[in-house]
Chain A
């Protein structure tokens, strides 16, 4: 196909202004959203301002909580709700523990969370191993059974499970708080995904070396999937610590409140004690905030596992 490319290209008008070593193209040329081109300094300031504004928007509610924890509730309202603390009662933090038994609630939450995370890890790893490395009849059936549980979250099965726990006399107990969550389909799928990433050749090689299943699991499979397991632990911890619906109805005595349920009642009896409740909320959020700061990568990996490739 003989295209008369030269004349055609002569037709293509040269766009843009001619000559001049410093053509006045704006430094804020439309590079928005691209990490591709490094921009001039003028553009950067604009972005910092935008990011700053958005940060304020996101953090304002948190600021408000801190503010209200650090202010006497009545005095604060009386002063017209300013943006700075009013009549700070510095002992709210300790009072949350002494007057509201926050310590027991946090301790209970910790125990329940650790049990749930450990149990979920064990059950998920074992089941994931079965699906990834073992042959057995009726695989598909079991797979479907596990997928099916995604349709039966605790919200749907709530009242039936409460009755079950009640029948077993496990209301207001650690067992009652933990039993329904000792296994999770999410964990099984996530860890299975990790196991399937292990090259098949490795399994063959270890079989030739004489590794049995258990040794392979502990010496090869789990060490090789440490990142995914780490992510799972973080996400599982997050979910267990933040639970509300189940602890709310699996217990009816104040001594058995987990920290989230305790937030409902702390400081809510009198208006001038509201700041204790707010302080308690701050304390309740701290463990997870620390988790986010120190395990950000694992958390992100766990949350994006289903959503984004790679």
Chain B
């Protein structure tokens, strides 16, 4: 074992990667061949990522720092990072942020709460429980477009089933965002249900039995035992739902077209700019804003998950 190419300590340093398997038996010549093979295997993925993830990032900055010439055949001219700053402090960006944030506020707590409710109800030994479990997870099969069409039948001001319900009205700014959010909440139900149910199933039966014997009633068992033990899954869901919220586009295009006025235009909607009212430098700057936002979410996720949320009370 003394000539292990990667020691325990070095393996730790590599973070999530552990020492490769079978590494003890490779000669130097073989290791070179291994390295070449590895690069070969990584090449396809890396090419795709470079061309469609990293190169675009550079291009976004380029677009955001150049202004297109008024003349078609003249190149764009460099105007500097000030343009980015201007866009990111503009009313347009701020309203996009607020709308995205509102959307998040509506979809994340409701989504997780309803998911927990459904999972708690369906986590028991009853005949035919699997049917209910399939029903509750069914919305995961729905695309955003389908979910939007479904909610069109429910909230569209002319033909929607609930068109006369005031707090679902697409004609007023406040309720419009809420109605659109509901379509995402419904669509996310399948995912939240599946994840919370899996987390509940991972809690050993004996823990609940021990708690019963200790004398905890059902409600106390839920808050003191169940919730802390499923909290990692809940956190995972929170992150996923926040990301879904940042990606919200189709439901807005299909239900409100950004309206009434511009009151349901999320950040991504403004970037996508389906009505073509923004110039590319503005849209690029907005994209950079979205990029930073995504980064913040990822950073929060990383820091929270590495602290492994448990509660002792």
A and B: interacting chains: yes
- Chain B residues in 8 Å Cβ range of A134: 20, 34-35, 37-38, 41
Q: Are B44 and A123 in contact (CB under 8 A)?
A: yes
Known: A81-B161, A159-B283, A296-B137. A153 touches B294 (CB 8 A): yes
With A134-B35, A159-B287 given, is the CB distance from A244 to B44 under 8 Å?
A: no
Find out whether the CB atom of A288 lies under 8 angstroms from the CB atom of B141. yes
User: Is A58 in the interface zone, CB < 8 Å from B?
Assistant: yes
| B151 and A307 contact, CB distance less than 8 A | no
B277 at the interface (CB under 8 A from A): no
B contact residues around A271 at 8 Å (CB): 158-159
Q: Which of B126, B209, B233, B253 contacts A47 (CB 8 A)?
A: B126
CB of B309, distance to nearest CB on chain A (Å): 13
Instruction: State whether A244 touches B250 (Cβ < 8 A).
Output: yes
Q: Taking the complex as formed, is B221 at the interface, i.e. its CB lies under 8 A from any CB of chain A?
A: yes
Q: Is B48 an interface residue when CB atoms closer than 8 A count as contact?
A: yes
Q: Are B254 and A164 in contact (CB under 8 A)?
A: no
Contact of A164 among B48, B52, B125, B283 (CB under 8 A): B52
Give me 9 other A-B pairs in contact (C-beta within 8 A), A34-B212, A152-B57, A248-B253 excluded. Answer: A51-B129, A54-B136, A130-B39, A130-B42, A242-B143, A263-B145, A285-B142, A292-B134, A292-B141
> Interface segment, B76-84, B101-109, B189-197?
B189-197
**Given A130-B41, A281-B149, CB of A204 within 8 Å of CB of B22:** yes
B contact residues vs A (CB 8 Å cutoff): 5-6, 14-18, 20-26, 31, 34-35, 37-39, 41-42, 44-46, 48-49, 51-57, 59-60, 63, 117-118, 120-126, 129, 132, 134-146, 148-151, 153-154, 158-159, 161, 186, 189, 191, 194-195, 198-199, 202, 205, 208-209, 212, 217-218, 221-222, 226, 232-233, 236-237, 243, 246-247, 249-250, 253-254, 268, 271-272, 274, 280, 283-284, 287, 290-291, 294-295, 298
The answer to whether A58 and B145 have CB atoms under 8 Å apart is: no
| Cα separation A153 to B118 with both chains bound (whole Å) | 30
Contact B159 A182 (CB under 8 A): no
Q: CB-CB < 8 A to B132: which residues of A?
A: 51, 54-55
A18 adjacent to chain B (CB < 8 Å): no
Report the Cα distance A143→B46, complex, angstroms: 11
User: Are the CB atoms of B52 and A123 closer together than 8 Å?
Assistant: no
Given A204-B25, A244-B249: A58 and B123 interface contact (C-beta under 8 Å) = no
Contact of B250 among A73, A188, A198, A260 (CB under 8 A): A260
Instruction: Report whether A55 and B135 are in contact in the complex, using a CB–CB cutoff of 8 Å.
Output: yes
- Beta-carbon nearest neighbor of B22 in chain A: A203
Q: Are B21 and A200 in contact (CB under 8 A)?
A: yes
Q: Are A137 and B35 in contact (CB under 8 A)?
A: yes
Selected A-B contacts with CB under 8 Å, 14 pairs:
A36-B209, A58-B189, A133-B20, A140-B17, A151-B291, A183-B48, A200-B22, A207-B25, A242-B142, A245-B249, A260-B143, A261-B145, A278-B149, A292-B138
Distance of A86 Cα from B205 Cα, bound (Å):
50
A249 to chain B, nearest CB (A): 7
Within 8 A of B (CB), among A38-59: 38, 44, 47-48, 50-51, 54-55, 58-59
Are B42 and A126 touching (Cβ within 8 A)? Answer: yes
Q: Confirm or deny: A104 has a beta carbon within 8 angstroms of a beta carbon on chain B.
A: no
Most chain B C-beta atoms within 10 Å of own C-beta, residue among A134, A148, A245: A134
**Does A142 interact with chain B (Cβ within 8 Å)?**
yes
Interfacial chain B residues near A277, Cβ < 8 Å = 149
- B202 CB → nearest A CB, Å: 5
B42 → chain A closest CB, angstroms: 5
Choose the segment among A6-14, A224-232, A298-306 that binds chain B (4+ C-beta atoms closer than 8 Å).
A298-306
Interface size, chain A (Cβ < 8 Å): 111
Complex: how many Å from CA A261 to CA B39?
A: 38
A38 to B205 Cα, complex, angstroms? 13
User: A77 at interface (Cβ–Cβ under 8 A)?
Assistant: yes
Q: Which residues of B contact A264 (CB under 8 A)?
A: 145, 253-254
Interface of B is mostly: helix
**Whole-angstrom distance between the alpha carbons of A36 and B221 in the complex?**
13
Contact B145 A284 (CB under 8 A): yes
Closest-CB distance, A23 to chain B (whole angstroms)? 18
The A-B contact count (CB < 8 A) is 331
Residues of A within 8 A of B153 (CB): 61, 64-65, 67-68, 278
Contact with B along A275-286 (1 / 0, CB 8 A): 001100100110
Nearest-neighbour CB distance to chain A for B40, whole angstroms, equals 8
What are the nearest 9 A-B pairs in CB distance? A160-B56, A242-B143, A203-B22, A157-B56, A288-B141, A136-B38, A136-B35, A183-B48, A183-B45
* Nearest B residue to A196, CB-CB: B18
Alpha-carbon distance between A144 and B173 when the two chains are bound, in angstroms: 42
Given contacts A152-B57, A244-B143, A288-B141, A307 and B199 within 8 Å (CB-CB):
yes
| A289 proximal to B (CB < 8 A) | yes
Q: Answer yes or no: A30 CB below 8 A from chain B CBs.
A: yes
Q: What's the nearest-Cβ distance from chain A to residue B96, in Å?
A: 13
Interface bits A225-243 vs B (CB < 8 Å: 1, else 0): 0000000000000100110
Q: Which of B55, B143, B194, B209 has the most CB of A within 10 A?
A: B143
Residues of B within 8 A of A238 (CB): 140-141
Known pairs A54-B118, A296-B134; A131 contacts B22 (CB<8 A): no
